[in-house]
Chains A and B, each alone.
Chain A
Amino acid sequence: MGVRVAEEWLHSCSGCEIAILNIGEPLIDILGLIDFVHMPVLMDHKYYGQLGDGKKLEIPEAVVGIVSGGVANEEHLEVLEEMRKQCKILIALGTCATHGGLPALINSWGMKAGIENSYATPTTDDCQVPEDIVPTPLDRVYALDEKVKIDIILPGCPPNPRLIAEVITALVEGRDPVIPGKSVCDTCPTKREGKGNVKTVRRFLENADFDPEKPIDDMRCLLEQGLMCMGPVTAAGCSRRGAPSCISARVPCRGCFGPVRKDGNQMLDMMNALASNGIDFKSVVDRRSLLRFSGAHGQLRQLPVPVRKAKEDE
């Protein structure tokens, strides 16, 4: 018998589960050490019994529980609470689970407005928003630790398969997993030439300046090239081939591993980082989207409804 593992996904996209599969061939070895007892993406265990006649949502007991996605409706909450009850160690996998992730961008409007908008698009027939049987939405998107106690956080959008394997293996071996505590910049091999003449940052409308025939450490730091890059304020961990993933595609970082310190604020931290480099932070368009991966924990709040002046209505 291996270590019992249960896996669930909530307000998510399945990218975290694909990242688990992307462990690749070592996954076959890991499968020899663990027993998945519940995992909707790969396995057929049902909440209400295999004949669908149960009255209460049930997930089997497990030593390790893995949950991806944030919490945005009553079913998510019920599943998360059952996972907490049944699992000794609960892991929040992926940035949606740890910080709300991209879907928490809706927190600027609230879940209700987001759902209503979906049923008011030009191709949708006149209708009421569905509310029979489907789970009732919560007011906003929550990270898991806003609802239950979480033992290990493993962010990333997607999380790094190597780190997922490390956490699972460490738990099986009964030791603490080794998870990086640095920033994307700390792990970035691009050339930094010190504070340059960059006074503003620009949108990514033209490609970075680099020689494609030369390795990544020959390219100048994208922030020093004047591109908005969130490396300074983003947790490390995405590197797969010696450089942060987006940088290796010659594209600036957008912060998908969440803040370096778990409770950091990527928007405020980035404003500070720019200011200390003499860069005008007002040149960043759409500053709230610096929180695009970490809008839970009350970081992205509902915008005030714009009050129209009477004149405009006339």
Chain B
Amino acid sequence: MMAKVINIQPVTRIEGHARIAIHLDDDGEVKDAFLHIMSLRGFEKFIEGRPAEEVPRIVNRICGICPWMHHLSSNKAVDGCFDVTPTPTGHKLRELCQTMAHINDKILHFFFLAAPDFVLGPDSDFAVRNVIGIVKEAPELAAQVVKMRQLGQMMLERFAGKAIHPIAGVVGGFAKPMTEEERIGLLTDTRTLLDFALFAMDFAKTSVFPKYEETIASLGTITTGFLGTVDDTGALQLYDGHLRLMKADGSITDFPVNQYDQYLSEHVESWTYGKLPYAQCWEEGFSMDLDAPKGIYRANTLARINVSETIATSHAQGELEEFREKFGRPAQGTLLYHWARLIELVYSCERTIELLEQDDITDTDIRAKVEPKAGRGVGSVEAPRGTLIHDYTTDNDGMIVKANMIVGTTHNIAPMNMSVKQAATTLIKGGVYDEGLLNKVEMAVRAYDP
């Protein structure tokens, strides 16, 4: 047998451009495996010189799946540069949109991107192993999923003008208030979505996860720390709060968002455009060694579920308790990202309803007075793919002079590489592999929803 490289390209059913390379030695054993991130656009450079208030409607184009998170994280950073605090209702309207956007994202990821592996099976023919295959295999479920995702997207579009690449968040608050008619409409739709979320959670727990218990426990599983956002009581937050790093042993470090640069650093490898963040505050350096990783933490759904003490809404809290009883804290199984994603789907629906039921959500005082000035602002939110940080500095005219961003997926670049290596090493022995097995290696990546 000759040494060779298995080239899985492109990695599919993810957002973005990546390639998996599995290097086999002369005996057909896995020598090494990599996830190469193949593209970079350079947003930090080309927002230089732009009026800061325009940037939230530029950086939303970083990601077409989570544009609201970039839009709002950026707005928070610009608030900081101009030293302005949004009005209470402006703040709530932003959180509302961010939470609604989470609903769509979870439905998209679980049902459109990940589910084909579970509903049709990891070994099914690649030509049908996709959402179109689900339309044919389970037409009623598919029709319901398409309808619910569309309902969520159109709620955002109806209220905020655009669902993809939003413009309604502005420095100081929000661009338009919510009318009572809009509030009632959104509330009705979100209640429908909550019913669907509870159905999805139940469907996964009864019809999907039990079939794959062994895979869920083993595939791509590594041992790392976790990063997320919580409030002062330690409850899960998606829009605002402080950052929390948890080590694999469960110990916790909390810090304010604007000190992120004292706790996190970004390592660089020559073979990927994706940077590899690590917890420099642990003072152990950086290593992706599977048995003794150093500085490695994960972000995204499983991370948030792990770092949170509680979830402040009732159904999601119930799910958290059940999850924790079954898998412990912190749970390390990589495919548990899917389970955690559905818990967050339930939370997002419940939280959206909570916000819509608050009296001042229809207040018309939506934007604070704003004056451009020199300053620095760090904004962060929890994007579907992880903690999203925008850090800007402005000059006296309020123009951007410098920017730094750590986007959600980036936190998981090192862990994804480790999960790929773990999966490949476990699955491929003596040079024997087939399509289904290579798809399982990709499933380890898909769990992170990159």
Contact = CB atoms under 8 A, between A and B. Distances in A.
B271 A251 contact: no
Nearest to B136: A31
Nearest to B278: A125
A190 to B, nearest CB: 14
B93 to A, nearest CB: 11
B304 interface: no
A161 B375 CA distance: 40
B83 interface: no
Nearest to B275: A124
Nearest to B397: A285
B51 A25 contact: no
Contact of B45 (A14, A113, A134, A207): A113
B57 A254 contact: yes
B164 A11 contact: no
B326 interface: no
B267 interface: yes
Contact of A121 (B14, B16, B44, B399): B44
Consensus secondary structure, chain A interface? loop
22 contacts: A13-B67, A14-B16, A15-B63, A15-B164, A19-B164, A28-B146, A43-B126, A51-B438, A53-B7, A106-B42, A123-B266, A131-B270, A133-B19, A205-B53, A205-B172, A205-B372, A207-B170, A207-B175, A245-B157, A245-B162, A286-B50, A289-B50
Given A44-B13, A207-B367, A25 B45 contact: no
Interface in A109-146: 109, 111, 113-115, 117-119, 121-125, 127-128, 130-135, 137
B394 to A, nearest CB: 13
Interface in B425-450: 433-435, 438-439, 442
Given A106-B42, A106-B46, A45 B12 contact: yes
A220 to B, nearest CB: 15
A52 B65 CA distance: 28
B290 to A, nearest CB: 21
Interface in B279-320: none
Interface in B9-55: 9-10, 12-17, 19, 21-22, 34, 36-42, 44-47, 49-51, 53-54
Contacts of B157: 240-241, 245
A118 B175 CA distance: 31
Given A18-B164, A46-B12, A36 B132 contact: yes
Given A18-B164, A31-B132, A132-B270, A41 B13 contact: yes
Interface of B: 4, 6-10, 12-17, 19, 21-22, 34, 36-42, 44-47, 49-51, 53-54, 57-58, 61-65, 67, 108, 112-113, 126-127, 129-132, 135, 142-143, 146-147, 149-150, 153-154, 157-158, 160-165, 167-168, 170-172, 175-177, 179, 260-261, 264-273, 275, 277, 364, 366-367, 369-372, 397, 399, 404, 406, 433-435, 438-439, 442
A7 to B, nearest CB: 12
Nearest to A8: B10
Contacts of B269: 130
A204 B17 CA distance: 35
Contacts of A246: 161-162, 167
Contacts of A27: 146
Interface in A247-277: 247-251, 254, 256
Contacts of A53: 4, 6-7
Contact of B265 (A105, A125, A256): A125
B268 A248 contact: no
Contacts of B21: 133
What is the interface residue range for chain A against chain B? Answer: 35 or more
A65 interface: no
B435 A51 contact: yes
B103 to A, nearest CB: 14
A157 interface: yes
A14 B64 contact: yes
A108 interface: yes
B260 to A, nearest CB: 8
Contacts of A46: 8-10, 12
A26 to B, nearest CB: 10
Interface in A179-228: 203-208, 212-213
B53 A204 contact: yes
A157 B165 contact: yes
A148 interface: no
A15 B162 CA distance: 12
A261 B94 CA distance: 36
B6 A132 contact: no
